[in-house]
Structure 1
Amino acid sequence: MQPVTCFCCCPPVRRGSVSEAVHTLYPHAACIFADSAAELRETLIGQDGGICIALAGYSESGVSDINLCAAIARDGCAHEVVLAVDSASGSLRSRAKRAGISRILEPEKIQSHPVRETEEHTMQVEMRRTEPARDGSDGRAPLVVLCSGRGGVGKTSLTATAALIAASWGLHVGLIDLDLANGNLYTCFGLKRGADLASLAAPDPEAIASLSLSVGDSIELWGPCSLPELAEKAAPFADALIDCARSNADLVLADTASTTTDAVAGALQRADRVVLVYDGRQASLAALARLGGLAVRLGVARTRIMRLENHADPYAKPDYSYARAEMGLEVARPLRVFEGGPEVAQLMGEGLAGELARYSCDFTRSVASCLAQILAELGCLPDCEAARRASREPSVKRRFWRFSRGREVG
C-alpha cells in the first residue's frame, strides 16, 4: 500500500479542525504542517514516492490561499490540491476549478447532520451517525457501496467490472448483491443463478461464508435471493453478510437496489465510500439529489460520498453545476466513467464481464481510474504498476486534429 501524506499550510489555531477534516477525507493520511507558503511548495517539490495531498487555507497574511493552491497545481507535485475555507461561494468554486484545484474542503460542514428520531421515519433502521472510517487496523476490508436511486444507469456493470479489475491487481474481492429481490449481478459472470441468501436460517459466519460463489480469480459473490418474495427473509442478515465479506476479503463491493430498502440503508451507514451513480439524464440527476440527501440523513459523512457519472463523453469537460446546492454533494468527489459503446452492454448481457475487463477501452480504463482513486483515498491502493497507472488516467481525453497540406496539382 502506498503511504498517503497531506502537507498543510494553515494558522496553528486552525490545525486541529483541519487535521480532523483531513482524516475524515483520507483515513490513512499523515498530516504535516508547514509554517509558510514557500515551505509548503519546497516540501512538495522535494517529495518522491507515495501519495501527496496539498492543502492550504485560512491564511492571515502573504499570498492568498487560492493563489497558493493554483501555484501548487501548476507545480504538478501533488496528487490532489485542496483549498480549505469556512464557506465557499459559487464564484470561489468556479475560480478554484479553473485554477486546477481538486476540491474545496469546508471543515465545519463535514460532520453529518443529526437525524431527528421521530415516529415519522418509516424505515426500521437504526438512524445513527456513521462510525469513523476504518483504517484497516481491525483486519477488515473497506466497503464500497454503489447506488443510484434509479434503475438503468449501469451500476451493476460498473460493480462487476470494478471487481474484476481489483482482482487483477491482486486483491481478494467480496461482491454483495443487495438488490435482494431482483438483483442480477451473477449474470455478468455467466452464472444461471446467484448465491441464494434466502437459504440462511441464522446470521452464522460459517454458513454465510460457505454460501458464496466463486465467480473469478479471487472474487466471491453473495446474493440475491432465489425468489423476489423471499427478500424480506434475507434482509435481517445483511449486516452479518457484510461483516463476513469484510473479514474474508481485501475489498468489498456492494451493488444495490434502485429503491432504498432496510438492507441498502444499513449498508450505506456502514460504507467507507458511497458512490452515487447517474448517467446525466434529468431523471437520473433528480434521483442523485434525493439519494444524496437520504445518505446524509442516514448519518453518512459528506466526505464519504462520491458521485460517478456513467456513460460520460470522454472528450467533454465535466459539468459540476448539478451539485451546486444538492444536500450531501457539496464536497462529494466527482468521478467519470466513459461510454463504452454497444459492445459493453452486449458482453455484459452474454455474461462475459471477464472478457470485457481484459479488453482495453475507454470504459474499462475509466472504471480502473475511478477504482484507483477510491482505493487511494482509503489508503489501500495496491502497490502494482497497473493500479498506479490507473490512478494517473485523465478524466478528460484530448482531441488530436491532423492537418495536412494538400499537394498542388501542376
Structure 2
Amino acid sequence: MLISGWGRYPFVDAELSQPLSSGEIKSNLSDGTSFCGVARGMGRSYGDSSLASNIITTSHLSRFHEFDPESGCLTCDAGVNISDILDVFVPKGWFPKVTPGTKYVSVGGAIASDVHGKNHHLTGTFCDHLHSFRILVANGEVLHCSKSENRDLFIATCGGMGLTGIILDATFYLQKIKSSFVDETTYKARNLKECFELFEDNVSADYSVAWVDCLQQGDNLGRSLFMLGRHNEQAGLKEISKSGPSIPFVFPNIVLNKYSVNLFNQLYYARVRSKIQERTVHYNPFFYPLDGIKNWNRLYGSNGFVQYQFVIPRDAGLAGMTLILEKIAASGAGSFLSVLKAFGKGNANLLSFPLQGYTLALDFKLTDKVLSLLNELDAIVSDYGGRVYLTKDARMSEQVFKKGYPKWEEFQMIREKYGAQGVFSSVQSKRLGLG
C-alpha cells in the first residue's frame, strides 16, 4: 500500500503489518523471512523516517500497565499516544513533563524522536524523564534499557529514529498539575532582535515560544508574537469540547501561495491588539493549536509539504537566525507555521536533536524552488554549527547529517553490536548513509 509521513511527501509502497501484541511483533521478526524495515506509531513524523518497504505499526500496543500516584511514574505500551495519556490523567491532576506540538504521538515515537516542547530550556526532552523501556532487538531478544542498564542501547534508541529495534513499552514520569488551564501572556515583538530579548529576559518562564512572520523584511524582519505559559492553579480540572473543523479534501496547489500566507500572517499578528495580552486558555490550544484542525496537512496540496526545523547554537542565535530569515523572506516561500523556541543544554543521547541555542520550525509547500532554498539553509545551519531535526526531515543530504550529528559513528557501532544493521532501516536512514 502507498503510505507517507504527515507531510504527505514522499509516498512509498510498503507492506504494513499490524500485530495485536508484542508477541506477534516478535513473530514478525522471527518467522523465517528476512525482515528489513521500521516500526511506526501514529505516523506524525513529517518526512520519511517511519517509511520503509516493511513497516510494523505499534498502534495495537495500547495498554496502560502501572501508575504510581506518589511519584507520577507511568508504565504503558509503546503504542499509547499522548492524547490517551491526557484523557486519562489530566482529570486526575497529571500532565506530561514534556510534550511536542501535537498530542497524536505515540510513546514509542516520542522516545525514538526524543521529542521536545516549549519548556526545553528548563526541562529538557521527553527522554530526560524516561526511567526505562523494553525493546525487541534483531535476534528476537527483549532487553530492558535505562541509563544504567544496557546504557549504550538506551542512548542510541532515545532519538535513534527506530533504527535500533522496536520499543514495546516504557516507564516515564508525569508532573502534578492543579488545573487543565494555562495562564498565557503574549507580547508583540516588532522584529527578531526584540523577540530574542524577550526570550533572554524570560529564561525562567515555565513555557515559552514565538510565532514568527517569516515574510517580513527590513526593520520588521522576524516580527513575532512571543508567548509565555504556566499551568494555572485555580481553574480546575475541566474538559472542553474536542470537536473542531476538518479539512475534507486535498486543497488545489494554487491555494497556498505567498499572497495567501502573507494575508494570514497579517491577520494573525493583528489579532493581538495590545503590546501585552494576558488570558487563561485550556491546555489544548496552548500546547496543541493545530490538533484542533483535523487533516490540516491537506491544506498544502497534492504535492505535500516539508517541515524544516533546525537549531543553531545560542552564541550565533541572532546573527544566524537573521541571515536565515532574510533568505526566506527574499525567496517569497512563506510559511504560516513558523515556530521559534529556546533550547537548554543537550543530553547524552547520540542522535538527539536539541543543543543549547534556538530552534525554528517552518512548513513549506513542496516545490523545486523550496528544495533549492532548503539546501541553501542547510549550508548556513552547518556553518553556524547547527543541525536539522531528523523527525521533520525528508530531504537532508548525508553530508549535512553527518556534520550536524558527529556521534553518528558511535551510533552505528551500537547498531552493529545489537544486530540492527540490515534489519531495522528506513527510507531516511538509507538516504543519510546509515543503511
TM-score for both structures, normalised by structure 2: 0.27
TM-score after normalising by structure 1? 0.28
Pick the structure with greater CA Rg: 1
Identify, as 1 or 2, the structure richer in strand.
2
